[in-house]
Each structure stands twice: as structure tokens, then as C-alpha cells.
Amino acid sequence: MNKLLIVTTIPTTLNFFLPLTKHLRDRGWQVDAMAKELSTDKEYPDLFDRVWDVDWSRNPLEPRNLIIAPQQIRQVLVREEYDIVNVSTPVAAFVARYALNSVRKKRKLKVIYTAQGFHFYRGGKPLKNAMFLTLERLAGPWTDYLVVVNREDEEAAQRYGLVPAQKVRYIPGTGINVDRFNPNAIDAAEVLKVRQELGLRQDNPLFLSVGEFIPRKRPWDILKAFAQMGKPQAHLAFAGRGQILQEMQQLAADLGVQNQVHFLGMRSDIPTLMRASTATLLASEQEGLPNCVMESLYLEIPTIGTEIRGTRDLLEGGCGLLFKVGDVDGLARSMLWILDRPEEARIMAKRGRERMTEYGLPQIIKVYEALYAEALSA
């Protein structure tokens, strides 16, 4: 029986790997997981064969990351003979690779790092970029395969020689759930119900933003651009919660658009919300490969996003509209373009759906299976 351990800093990041986990377990693999406070989580212990806790911090400079956490990781390795450890998220990936380096060759263990977006990137703060690039360079020799999810990170991995070139693998994400985000599987009655819930008439366009209310998502740009459009019949909805939610609610009031903006909190009906929308928006300054953009494209909904890595991969070439980070005027113009050119927007959305062929879950699972097979046979 093949044994795989997936390691992330916090439990929610394991969501990226859940479809792959289920697929492998159905085929006889043992798939375990490790993250901070994982065993006490209500959801995840049932989704893996075994779960392990590790005491680390998301702050890369926290001393326990290199004192306590490595000991805990090695103790698990003593008890379990894993064939592959797949690490993800920068802190977990660095600490786990550091901890495993002294044992991986003795045990014929293969370490795979799935970088869901390096923490150094074009446009990032120079000091932060330098720090995270240094960490990635240090950990490169402790890595058997490096998986990147966007072309900018692929180019950076090659340019800086983080691992040997033949060990860099481009895999675009962890797969779209093609059943859940199939436009033909969403009931028109449910779409109508959502629009009625928001008090929308048939002639009310709806813009939607899906994501956490955190600074790097820059939701204030979306609110300012929406207000700048000056379209009283249009509505804007946010699905998500986070640390700056109340600030954004106050900003909507300050901009005088509070009656047109809907703060929906966490939602389990994202596919239906997207199908009820005229377009989806993402104003982030940093992403790896944003799921919300892929999901919107797969649902054939016009999509507007910032010209950053990952999002650029998905929307360039006429598959969506791009604007520069912080360009409120550019975002407002893109939103007006969607409203003024509905037929062109429809054609653009169709083109975006066609691009999503390589991003579907079945295709991604096949690529990961091939990578794991190669690692096991090496």
C-alpha cells in the first residue's frame, strides 16, 4: 500500500487536496494529513486515514518553527513509513522540508512541494520578496519535485534555480469540481431565487466578488469602482467574511451605495450566485491561481481581475478583462464595458469556458497521479 502525507500550515489549506485525497484513498492509498490543531477540527479528521498536529506559526520568524515543529514532524516519520510527503504553503513547506531532509534519503522518501503561489512575486515589497526568495533557495536542495501553479512562478523557479530544471512541474491548480460548477447543472429556479433574495429585478445587473475580506484582496477598490460607475440600477454582492468586513460596510455607506451593496457572509451556493451574476470581480494584489476566477470561467460568467500572476494566466487572450492593481478607474471602465457590450461579454465568457479544459479536476488528478508514480519509481 502506498502511503502519502499532506502537510499544510493550517487545516483549511487542505481543501485544495481533498478531491485528490478521495481519489487516492478509493484506489487503496493511505492518505494522512498534518497541520496546526488538525485533530481538534470537526471536519478534517474524517477525510483522511490519520491526522497529525504540529505546533508552528504562520510567522516565518517564529522560533518554534525550527525548534518544536521539526521534532514533531520527525516523530511522526519514525512511526509511519511514508512513501511521499506533499508539502504546501510557505511556512509548512519550509519547516517540513527542513525536518525531513536528514531522513528522506535514508528512508527513500520523496518530498514534493506544491507552491500555491510563492510569497515573492512581481510587484511585491522588496524586503519581503528577498526574505521569501532566500527561504525558497535554502529549501530547494531538500526538495525532490517542485510543483508550480502559474507561469510566473514556473519562470521564477527556473530563473533562480530553486530545484533542478527537470524537477519543476507546472500543474495548474488542484482542479475545478466540474460537476459542481457545470452551468448545465444549476437550476434556473435556484438562480431566480437568489436574485429575489437580493431584491433584484430582471433588469438589475449584479456584480459579484467571492473571497475573504483581507487587505491583499483589496475589496475597497471594488467598492470605489462600483460607486464611480454611477449606475443606480446595478448591484454588488460580496460572498465571504474576514477581518476588514466592517470597514468595507462603512465604506459602502460613506460612498452612498449601501442600498446597492450586499454583504452575504459565507455561502454554500457559490455556483448559483455566480450564475445569477452579470460578472465576477477580483481586485487582489497577490494570488497563486485563484479558484474563484477558474470557477467563474467554467460557469461561463464574464470575469474581471487584476493583471497579476495566476489571474493573468486565466484571463489573458480575450478570456476576461484585466486591470492593474489599484486602478479603480480601470476597474470601473471594465464593469461599464460588461454592461454596455453584453453580446461581446457573452462571447468573452464562452472563450473563458473553453480555456478551462486543462483545469478540470479529472485532468489535474491524472497529472498528480503521474507525478506520484514517477516519484515512487525514481
The per-residue pLDDT for range 183-212, each reduced to its tens digit, is 999 999 999 999 999 999 999 999 999 999
The per-residue pLDDT for range 237-275, each reduced to its tens digit, is 999 999 999 999 999 999 999 999 999 999 999 999 999
The per-residue pLDDT for range 114-171, each reduced to its tens digit, is 999 999 999 999 999 999 999 999 999 999 999 999 999 999 999 999 999 999 999 9
Please give the Cα distance from 2 to 231 (Å, whole number): 57
Decide if 371 contacts 168 (C-beta within 8 A). no
pLDDT classification of 345: cutoffs 50, 70, 90:
very high
Average pLDDT over residues 356-377: 94
Q: How many CB atoms lie within 10 A of CB 199?
A: 10
Residue 311 has pLDDT above 90, yes or no: yes
- Cα dihedral sign, 359-362-368-370: negative
Average pLDDT over residues 65-76: 90
Average pLDDT over residues 301-323: 97
Which pLDDT belongs to residue 170? 97
Query: Hey, do 3-172+360-377 and 183-359 end up sharing a CATH topology, with the first three levels equal?
Result: yes
pLDDT classification of 181: cutoffs 50, 70, 90:
very high
Which pLDDT belongs to residue 174? 87
Please give the Cα distance from 49 to 23 (Å, whole number): 13
Decide if 340 contacts 231 (C-beta within 8 A). no
pLDDT classification of 318: cutoffs 50, 70, 90:
very high
Cell numbers standing for residue 246:
466592517
**Percentage with pLDDT > 90 across the chain:** 89
- Cα dihedral sign, 157-162-168-169: negative
Cell numbers standing for residue 89:
504553503
- Cα dihedral sign, 324-212-276-197: negative
Domain boundaries, the chain: 3-172+360-377, 183-359
Secondary structure of residue 307 in the 3-state scheme:
coil
Average pLDDT over residues 269-291: 97
Which pLDDT belongs to residue 65? 83
Pairing of strands 84-88, 168-170: unpaired
Which pLDDT belongs to residue 158? 97
pLDDT classification of 358: cutoffs 50, 70, 90:
confident
Architecture of the domain made up of 183-359? 3-Layer(aba) Sandwich (3.40)
Secondary-structure breakdown of the chain: helix, strand, coil percentages, each rounded to the nearest 5:
50, 15, 35
Q: Which CATH superfamily is domain 3-172+360-377 in?
A: Glycogen Phosphorylase B; (3.40.50.2000)
Which pLDDT belongs to residue 66? 83
Which pLDDT belongs to residue 281? 98
Please give the Cα distance from 364 to 378 (Å, whole number): 21
CB neighbours of 57 closer than 8 A, spacing ≥ 6? 64, 65, 91
Residue 63 has pLDDT above 90, yes or no: no
DSSP assignment of 153-182 = HHHHHHHHTSS-GGGEEE--SS-B-TTTT-
Residue 107 has pLDDT above 80, yes or no: no
Residue 378 has pLDDT above 90, yes or no: no
Residue 60 has pLDDT above 80, yes or no: no
Decide if 14 contacts 41 (C-beta within 8 A). no
Which pLDDT belongs to residue 77? 87
pTM: 0.91
Which pLDDT belongs to residue 186? 95
Mean pLDDT for the chain?
Answer: 95
